[in-house]
């Protein structure tokens, strides 16, 4: 939807700078180049509720942009995302995009993992279940803040440069990611909806900005500010809506 706006904005920048001869090198498919030698170049897209709220074409676009930038992209959905994966595999990636949402059980907020409830995981992580850090009452396993506080220890995610948390209240997870070694985290400040495709559209735009070389701070600002200034379509359920994206960590980070 708004990716066309990126190309238009860049056109005006080039015209203002007297760089007309280079205008036609710019499009809303980012002008990408291979990553420098030594870069890990591995990204993972996790869509925990894809069966209910599929990413569809947005997932295709995000994968395309990352692949064109030189990343090796892995996409996991629904039950492919397990507790074991969260605890043993995340550090294999330099960019992580996790798209999920939350539910409450006995006044505790849980983030859907994707793995369905099963006896093997309940036995393996019996103490986590007993402490309320993992919950199976939704049929899909969910993890609470206590899970991240206990398991995401220092340097556990030292290879991860950027995590994008597309989920309600993911601000609360950000500090645990940073403490585990992540360089920067983009998160949601409050509740979000995975319906209507708006969050996915904004995420695709954010990825495009980042892959055009913008740092985290600039990319997030460029996605958020037009909504704050009322120059973009509104959420169909909330006329005062503006994207709740923000970030913590190294705002000067580029990927």
Q: What value does the mean pLDDT take over residues 18-42?
A: 44
Which residue is it, tokens 């103490």?
Answer: 127
Residue at 104 is within a domain? yes
Report strand pairing: 95-99 vs 162-166. parallel
Residue at 194 is within a domain? yes
- pLDDT of 31: 43
- pLDDT of 8: 36
- Band (pLDDT 50/70/90 cuts) for residue 243 is low
Residue at 34 is within a domain? no
Residue at 236 is within a domain? yes
Residue at 218 is within a domain? yes
CA dist 191 → 22, 174, 184, 197 (Å): 41, 15, 21, 15
DSSP category for residue 127: H
In this structure, what are the phi and psi dihedrals at residue 202, rounded to the nearest 5 degrees? -65, -40
Residue at 118 is within a domain? yes
Q: What value does the mean pLDDT take over residues 125-141?
A: 97
Q: What is the CATH number of the domain that holds 63?
A: 3.40.50.720
Residue at 35 is within a domain? no
Question: Where is average pLDDT lowest: 13-17, 30-34, 169-173, 187-191?
Answer: 13-17
Enclosing domain of residue 55: 3-28+40-249
Residue at 254 is within a domain? no
Higher pLDDT, 199 or 99: 99
Q: What value does the mean pLDDT take over residues 167-182?
A: 96
Q: How far apart are CA 34 and CA 69, in angstroms?
A: 6
Residue 13 has pLDDT above 90, yes or no: no
Share of the chain above pLDDT 90, in %: 68
Q: Number of folded domains in the chain?
A: 1
Alpha helices in the chain (DSSP H): 3-16, 57-68, 83-88, 119-124, 126-130, 145-151, 171-179, 198-211, 216-228
Helix axes 198-211, 57-68, angle to 10 degrees: 10
Residue 233 token pair: 């379509």
| CA 92 remoteness from chain centre | 16
- pLDDT of 17: 39
């Amino acid at each position: 939807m708004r990716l066309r706006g990126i190309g238009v904005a860049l056109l005006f920048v080039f015209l203002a700078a007297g760089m007309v001869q280079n205008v036609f090198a710019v499009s809303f498919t980012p002008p990408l180049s291979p990553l420098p030698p030594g870069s890990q170049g591995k990204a993972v897209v996790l869509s925990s509720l894809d069966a209910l709220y599929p990413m569809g074409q947005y997932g295709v676009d995000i994968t395309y942009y990352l692949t064109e930038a030189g990343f090796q992209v892995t996409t996991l959905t629904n039950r492919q995302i397990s507790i074991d994966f969260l605890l043993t595999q995340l550090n294999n990636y330099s960019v992580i995009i996790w798209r999920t949402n939350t539910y409450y059980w006995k006044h505790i907020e849980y983030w859907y993992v994707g793995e369905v409830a099963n006896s093997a995981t309940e036995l393996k992580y019996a103490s986590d279940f007993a402490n309320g850090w993992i919950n199976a009452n939704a049929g899909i396993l969910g993890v609470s803040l206590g899970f991240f506080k206990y398991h995401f220890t220092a340097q556990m995610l030292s290879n991860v440069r950027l995590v994008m948390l597309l989920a309600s209240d993911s601000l609360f997870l950000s500090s645990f990611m940073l403490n585990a070694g992540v360089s920067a985290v983009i998160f949601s400040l409050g509740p979000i909806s995975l319906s209507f495709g708006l969050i996915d559209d904004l995420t695709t735009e954010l990825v495009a900005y980042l892959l055009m070389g913008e740092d985290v701070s600039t990319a997030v600002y460029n996605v958020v500010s037009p909504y704050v200034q009322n120059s973009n379509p509104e959420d169909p359920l909330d006329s005062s809506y503006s994207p709740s994206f923000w970030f913590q960590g190294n705002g000067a980070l580029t990927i």
